[in-house]
Amino acid sequence: MEEEQKKKEKKKKEQGPLRRILITVAYDGTNYHGFQKQNSGAVTIEGVLNDTLTNVFKEPIEVIGASRTDTGVHAYGNLAVFDTHSRIEAEKVPYALNRSLPEDIRVLCGEEVPLDFHPRKCDTIKTYEYRIYNAPFNLPQKRLYSYWTYAKLDVEKMQRATGYFIGTHDFASFCSAGTQTPTTVRTLYELTVETDDPFDSEDDPEAPVCRDIVIRVSGSGFLYNMVRIIAGTLMEVGKGRIEPEQIADIIEARDREAAGPTAPPEGLTLVGYEITGKA
Amino acid sequence: MEEEQKKKEKKKKEQGPLRRILITVAYDGTNYHGFQKQNSGAVTIEGVLNDTLTNVFKEPIEVIGASRTDTGVHAYGNLAVFDTHSRIEAEKVPYALNRSLPEDIRVLCGEEVPLDFHPRKCDTIKTYEYRIYNAPFNLPQKRLYSYWTYAKLDVEKMQRATGYFIGTHDFASFCSAGTQTPTTVRTLYELTVETDDPFDSEDDPEAPVCRDIVIRVSGSGFLYNMVRIIAGTLMEVGKGRIEPEQIADIIEARDREAAGPTAPPEGLTLVGYEITGKA
């Protein structure tokens, strides 16, 4: 009993004023049911972060995440904040957490932010990457972080299609049906398609290719499944089923049915955030 | 009974003369106890290939592998041969097998070879890659295929050390103790160390790095654990514990104790073989 009392007093001394810490989180989403905590008991990134923080700091902690990535989607730099009475230096937080986190989640950075900083209520530029492995057979070492297709994609056509997406548009055609959102207008700053083995019209069209194709997109924000629907639509362009010029009409349609399919989650990685200001 | 008889006759008709097929096999070694079949019942690449081939071709098949990679070691292009009475075109073999193989093993190529072709008894140039992720924290997406170290490695020093390895030497210092082999003399044709973020003496030496370092080595053959001991020794050079010039003495010593530690398996990938002739 006395021991218990001493411990409590010691803890009180160690505690400081409430502070908000912003962490950058990388994860392999393969074995998680997405970022967001679920009541079903399914394992999520948020759930593991909450449990680990609560254990490490010995106080009940719940993070607020910037992006609720879907099941199987990866991140190099998702953001989350949490509040703590601990006096730990923010820069030491990654070391403290990484010792206890499973190896498919890593905290790469920690910094103190004002208590009213909210990662979903500030102006940001968000960047995603969609990786495609385009080869006759999948490569085991790429299977977890790329979407594999043997259909030879015309990268040059995909590149020509990107221009139509740039700027501020109503992206209702690129939002999963039934999503509740005040507006489907979003701004895309950049959309590129790159490959380590570009299509060359002088090459034998029957010759197999073994290449990575990376779609990279930056914007002010994204609708539900928007990046995966853009990737799925660009792949339809690469297969010759949609012409680059048709993208303008697809956007104009404001109809999910007009766009291509939602590309599978394993190819998608949330690359990171640039915080540009408070909303 | 009649059905059974018909089936047998049909199978006989389908069967042709015995042929030997050479396959190129890629795998993620994370979940395997190495290539070689084990009596313990541990899951191995060879065991899975034998089971899959036997099921697909409906005749008992055992492969002969070129390289018996260790537990946790990966391959882009290990080689194996098997004999079959099936009339399947060699080029179709990957399609037939990949449908049944687990997704961490893929057959990338099939070709017919003479019945006396033995993948361990022909002259080859073998290439390995050892990948290091050099950063303050591991990245979940790299953890399975790179060895992570936060110790900032001096890549320029590692590069200077490579020259001492090239050529024909007695590599006894780079062979796990107790290995039975007629000779510990081997020939290395190439050894390179590359990084996407080279060391620059003008950079702040305290600034953290986030980079990939890739050691690539080609040779006529390798002793047991040789590439991993070379990688472990080069990392000691990168840490400043061994000077590049000392490599000559380490080779000269012909003593496993003289070299650095055996680097962990996850960084190692058997890249491939070039068959240069029959032994």
Report the percentage of chain B scoring pLDDT > 70: 94
DSSP character string of B51-106? HHHHHHHTS----EES--PPTT-EEEEEEEEEEE-----GGGHHHHHHTTS-TTEE
B177 touches chain A (CB under 8 A): no
Q: Do A137 and B108 touch (CB under 8 A)?
A: yes
Question: Given its phi and psi angles, is residue A95 left (phi above 0), alpha (psi -120 to 50 degrees) or beta?
Answer: alpha
pLDDT at residue A197 tops 90: no
- Least confident range from A205-219, B9-23, B110-124, B129-143: namely B9-23
Distance CA A80, CA A52 (A): 14
Residue B13's pLDDT is 64
A83 touches chain B (CB under 8 A): no
ipTM for the whole complex:
0.91
Using DSSP, state whether A83 is helix, strand or coil.
Answer: strand
Q: Do B137 and A103 touch (CB under 8 A)?
A: no
Distance CA B212, CA B195 (A): 6
The DSSP output letter for B168 is: E
Report the percentage of chain A scoring pLDDT > 90: 84
Residue A15's pLDDT is 83
Helix or strand holding residue B130 (H, E): strand B122-134
Residue (of A163, A16, A37, A27) closest to A84 by Cα position: A16
Active site residues of A: 70
pLDDT at residue B1 tops 60: no
A137 touches chain B (CB under 8 A): yes
Q: Biggest alpha carbon distance in chain A?
A: 83
Summarize the confidence of residues B234-254 as an average pLDDT.
97
Q: How close A38 gets to chain B, by Cα (Å)? A: 22
pLDDT at residue A276 tops 80: yes
Distance CA B119, CA B66 (A): 5
pLDDT tens digit string along A88-111?
Answer: 999 999 999 999 999 999 999 999
Q: Best mutation site among A32, A91, A105, A106 for testing chain B: the one with the most B CBs within 10 Å? A: A106
Distance CA A230, CA A261 (A): 9
Distance CA B103, CA A97 (A): 32
Q: How close A4 gets to chain B, by Cα (Å)? A: 36
Q: Round to the nearest angstrom and report the end-to-end CA distance of chain A.
A: 50
- Least confident range from A101-115, A116-130, B11-25, B110-124: namely B11-25
Q: Which residues of B touch A76 (CB under 8 A)?
A: 139, 141
Q: Would you say the C-alpha torsion B170, B175, B180, B186 has a positive or negative sign?
A: negative
Residue B199's pLDDT is 61
Q: Do B141 and A107 touch (CB under 8 A)?
A: no
pLDDT at residue B115 tops 80: yes
Distance CA A45, CA A26 (A): 10
Is residue A110 within 8 Å of residue A23, measured between CB atoms?
Answer: yes
Q: How close A84 gets to chain B, by Cα (Å)? A: 23
Residue (of B214, B209, B185, B188) closest to B197 by Cα position: B209
pLDDT tens digit string along A231-266?
Answer: 999 999 999 999 999 999 999 999 999 999 999 999
| Residues 1-60 in A contacting B (C-alpha not used; CB under 8 Å) | 26-28
Residue B260's pLDDT is 97
Q: Which residues of A touch B143 (CB under 8 A)?
A: 28, 103-104
Q: How close B213 gets to chain A, by Cα (Å)? A: 18
Length, in residues, of chain A = 279
pLDDT tens digit string along B158-212?
Answer: 999 999 999 999 999 999 977 788 999 999 999 999 999 876 656 677 777 899 9
Residue A202's pLDDT is 67
Active site residues of B: 70
Q: Would you say the C-alpha torsion A67, A71, A77, A80 has a positive or negative sign?
A: positive
Residue B206's pLDDT is 73
* CB neighbour list of residue B120: distance below 8 Å, 6 or more residues apart: B64, B65, B66
Query: pLDDT-derived band of residue B239, with 50, 70 and 90 as boundaries?
Result: very high
Distance CA A24, CA A78 (A): 6
The pTM assigned to this predicted structure is: 0.92
Distance CA A39, CA B34 (A): 40
Among chain A residues, the shortest Cα distance to B109 is held by A137
Report the percentage of chain B scoring pLDDT > 90: 84
pLDDT tens digit string along B74-107?
Answer: 999 999 999 999 999 999 999 999 999 999 999 9
Residue A184's pLDDT is 95
Size of interface A-B (CB pairs under 8 A): 63
Is residue A83 within 8 Å of residue A59, measured between CB atoms?
Answer: no
Nearest CB to B26: which of A103, A106, A140? A140
Cα-only R_g, chain B: 22
Cα-only R_g, chain A: 22
Q: Biggest alpha carbon distance in chain B?
A: 83
Q: Do B140 and A103 touch (CB under 8 A)?
A: yes
Q: Which residues of A touch B141 (CB under 8 A)?
A: 26, 28, 74, 76, 144-145, 269
